[in-house]
Amino acid sequence: MMRKHLIVWLVLSLMLTALIVGNIYVGAASENGISYTCANGEATVTDYYGAATEVVVPSTLGGCPVTAIGQKAFQNSYSLSSVTLPDSVTTIGNYAFSSCPNLSVINLPDALTYIGDSAFGGCSSLTTVTWPENLQHIGNSAFARTSLLFVTVPDSVTELGRAAFQYNKALRQVSLPHTLTAVPDSTFTGCTSLTLVQWGGNETSIGSLAFS
Q: Determine which of 20-29, 110-119, 140-149, 167-176 has the lowest per-residue pLDDT on average.
A: 20-29
Of 164, 172, 121, 116, residue with least CA distance to 146 = 121
Neighbours of 60 (CB within 10 A): 13
Neighbours of 3 (CB within 10 A): 7
- Give residue 12's pLDDT band: very low, low, confident or very high (50, 70, 90): very low
pLDDT digits (tens, 9 = 90+) for 164-186: 999 999 999 999 988 888 899 99
Cα 63 from Cα 36, distance rounded (Å): 11
What are the DSSP calls for 107-139, one per residue?
A: B--TT--EE-TTTTTT-TT----B--TT--EE-
pTM equals 0.85
